[in-house]
Homo-oligomer: A and B are copies of this chain.
């Protein structure tokens, strides 16, 4: 089936879902498979599920592992890129110094490369999406938490231990709300999906959002999606939560503009689906707060690759490494 085209397999392991795909070196997706990751089942079960998922994607495309040069894996946590080791990953219970690359090499019988998922998504938006062709780009992914990736001189910047780019774990409001990382007032504690849902719950309990109250079924929790629907249907309390999260995001982006003076900042991840509700106030705060020169020519853009960003980033990385 492989008619001379270089084909790559890629797996994006998330805290709740895993996505496998087969793509050409230009990022054209030939087939994909998505399923729950069930990370609570432990490492072996997750490894097995990753292999199954990739096999199913290959089957859909009428391909087999032999048709792939190499498989790329995007994973949460701090990744030692050269050695393919996941040092720590709060989203993956029990993972500590997991030699993910070597384990998957053995189970897939093929070459494997591993990268942090936010860095991979940054690479994807730079190669195929909102940051195409720029030299210096920042990427923030806003989902349950907030991750980040840094592109400098057109290449991913990883730092000394592969841990660079934790753009959600910077304190912007000392004495702010507690963050999962143990500090207070990190951007993640102010503008992530989790932070937004916490505020939505408070709004509900206080009886201050009739729009949201109508949408949330009895006994269920308020989600970012329901909050967005309530805001779009005119609920002011719901809209204000997005506006506040956006303002915090914009303050952090102004910090990043002053630090990096990048050409583009790309916002991806599930919460970015709320689009203008969060990006408009973020843009406003960025404009009002960053210094003049970094602002000149800076573009703030929504990610273009959606949930495929992590996996497509692995395709771009493998292509760049020419493996």
Contact indicator A294/B159 (Cβ below 8 Å): yes
| B262 lies within 8 A of A167 (CB) | no
> Which residues in window 211-269 of A have CB below 8 A to B?
251, 254-255, 258-263
Are the CB atoms of A167 and B259 closer together than 8 Å?
Answer: yes
Residue in contact with A170 in the complex, picked from B87, B163, B181, B255, CB distance below 8 Å: B255
Residues of B within 8 A of A260 (CB): 159, 164
> A205 at the A/B interface (Cβ < 8 Å)?
no
Partner-binding segment picked from A20-28, A171-179, A311-319:
A171-179
Tell whether, in the assembled complex, residue A251 and residue B171 are in contact, meaning their CB atoms are under 8 Å apart: yes
**Contact segment of A38-46, A106-114, A276-284, A285-293:** A285-293
**Number of residues of chain A lying within 8 A (CB) of chain B:** 49
How far does the alpha carbon of A157 sit from the alpha carbon of B155 in the complex, in Å?
13
Complex contacts, A153 vs chain B, CB 8 Å: 153
B291 lies within 8 A of A174 (CB): no
The CA-CA distance from A88 to B161 in the complex, in Å, is: 36
Q: Which residue of B lies closest to A90 (CB)?
A: B291
Contact B152 A261 (CB under 8 A): no
CA distance A240 to B6 in the complex (A): 63
Q: A164-204 interface mask toward B, CB cutoff 8 Å, 1 = contact, 0 = none?
A: 11110111111110000111010000000000000000000
**Distance of A300 Cα from B183 Cα, bound (Å):** 20
- Chain B residues closer than 8 Å to A161, beta-carbon distance: 261, 293-294, 296-297
Contact A259 B293 (CB under 8 A): no
A162 within 8 A of B: yes
Closest Cβ of chain B to A223, distance in Å, is 27
A255 touching B160, Cβ below 8 Å = no
User: Which of B87, B173, B292 contacts A174, CB < 8 Å?
Assistant: B173
- Within the complex, which residue of B159, B262, B297 is in contact with A261, where a contact is CB–CB below 8 Å? B159
In the complex, what distance in Å separates the CA atom of A181 from the CA atom of B169? 24
A78 at interface, CB cutoff 8 A = yes
Min CB distance A204 to B, Å, is 26
A55 interface contact, C-beta 8 A: no
Residues of A within 8 A of B (CB): 78, 87-88, 135-136, 148, 150, 152-153, 157-167, 169-176, 181-183, 185, 251, 254-255, 258-263, 289, 291-294, 296-298
Pick 8 A–B contacts, CB within 8 A, sort by A.
A153-B153, A161-B297, A165-B259, A170-B255, A170-B259, A173-B173, A181-B291, A259-B259
Other than the given A162-B293, A170-B259, A174-B176, 14 more pairs (CB < 8 A) read A136-B160, A152-B152, A153-B153, A160-B297, A161-B261, A161-B293, A162-B261, A164-B261, A164-B294, A165-B259, A166-B291, A169-B291, A173-B173, A173-B174
